[in-house]
Amino acid sequence: MKRISPLLLVLLILGFLFATYNLLTMIIHYKTSSSENWDLFDPIIQMPENLKEGVDSNSKYHVALTATDAPYSQWQCRIMYYWYKKVKDIPGSDMGEFTRILHSGKPDNLMEEIPTVVVDPLPEGLDRGYIVLNRPWAFVQWLEKAIIYEEYILMAEPDHVFVNPLPNLAHGKHPAGFPFFYIKPAEHEHIIRKYYPKEKGPVTDIDPIGNSPVIIRKSVLEEISPTWMNISLRMKDDPATDKAFGWVLEMYAYAVASALHGVRHILRKDFMLQPPWDLEVGKTFIIHYTYGCDYNLKGELTYGKIGEWRFDKRSYLSGPPPRNLSLPPPGVPESVVRLVMMVNEATANIPNWIL
């Protein structure tokens, strides 16, 4: 058996340490930027000047999310739809109807449980393994074929749960979005200018958002969506852009497409919270459980190391989590406890949870 070269071993260790440093830097930045007290800081961090004295729209919005027929996507959609039904008619909610946009090209076994429209995936190989690239194409097809009665649309994701009644945060033609700390167009101007030329305006006109969560007027989304799809494909086809943006490429594409159409978003940091970094639910509207939650039995976060207690959606890639997950140990933030309790309530009440 050949021995590993000491030089190769050193390079591997240095590569791992560099990747870990980048991840932890991003997490620490997020933790710092998201630990503000909601009672002391205005949750609206960007709003066009001419709207600041106005009021929010009270029009209903249609809840739409894109999904696949994979078990991992299905169980998240079932939990999301359960909580949609729970909060839809609570005072303060402007929710209308609901659609799961299934971009697998064929019906699945949830068609009778969740209102669903089937659309085609991108041609084979075009997404290059980046499944999210199907999202803008799915919205283009859905907007063309569906009858949507609401004036507005909430673009949501399977790993969203509604923790408080969500009003329509948009205002007229100005959508409402969530500001992501890691979407930084100004830091990537040399890349952004490939898709947003100087004559269109400064890079700061591009909002630090993705397409979800966003509440947007249907007519505005119909204008943006084809551009969003085309920019996504162009970005994925460009090696430098693909390398720079990685797993958030499609988010940048939506932000650029919006700016190309002159659309600015009202930025609402109370739109969504993301455990374990956001500690309290407060008056936020959506829990987004994209990050793993790892803790020791003292209630201390052990991010980057599998905890003695954990909840991570990626632990259930091949099938749904069991009913009655164990609650976190004492000392774990309220946001994580609330998330697990909401997952448990949904799985306890959804018939035939294990399909």
Please state the rounded mean pLDDT for residues 343-351: 98
Query: At what angle are helices 334-349 and 71-87 packed, to 10 degrees?
Result: 100
pLDDT band at 14 (very low <50, low <70, confident <90, very high): very low
| Helices 218-237 & 249-260 angle (0-180, nearest 10) | 130
φ, ψ (nearest 5 deg) of residue 219: -65, -35
> Residue 53: pLDDT above 50?
no
Q: What's the pLDDT at 43?
A: 74
* Mean pLDDT along residues 21-30: 42
**Of 221, 207, 263, which is closest to residue 45 (Cα–Cα)?**
207
Please check the confidence at residue 38 and state whether its pLDDT lies above 60.
no
pLDDT of 17 > 80? The answer is no
**Mean of per-residue pLDDT scores for the chain:** 89
Interval 237-247: pLDDT, tens: 999 999 999 99
- Is residue 18 very low, low, confident or very high in pLDDT (cuts 50, 70, 90)? very low
pLDDT digits (tens, 9 = 90+) for 312-332: 999 999 999 999 999 999 999
pLDDT band for 355, please (50, 70, 90 cuts): confident
Cβ atoms of 269 and 45 closer than 8 Å: yes
Kindly report, residue by residue over 286-302, the tens digit of the pLDDT: 999 999 999 999 999 99
Is residue 174 within 8 A of residue 51, CB to CB? The reply is yes
**What is each CA distance from 98 to 65, 114, 177, 252, 268, in whole angstroms?**
8, 8, 19, 26, 22
**127: CB partners within 8 A, 6+ apart:** 121, 133, 134, 236
Confidence of residue 31 (pLDDT cuts 50, 70, 90): very low
Average pLDDT on 115-143 reads 95
Which pLDDT tens digit goes with each residue over 221-278?
A: 999 999 999 999 999 999 999 999 999 999 999 999 999 999 999 999 999 999 999 9
- The C-alpha atoms of residue 160 and residue 84 are separated, in whole angstroms, by 10
Q: Is the pLDDT of residue 6 over 70?
A: no
**pLDDT of 44:** 74
Mean pLDDT of 206-211: 98
Q: Counting runs of H as helices and runs of E as strands, what totals does the chain give?
A: 8, 13
pLDDT at 42: 61
* Whole-number pLDDT of residue 27: 43
**Residue 105 tokens, joined:** 């090209």
- Label residue 57 by pLDDT band (50, 70, 90): low
Band (47; pLDDT cuts 50, 70, 90): low
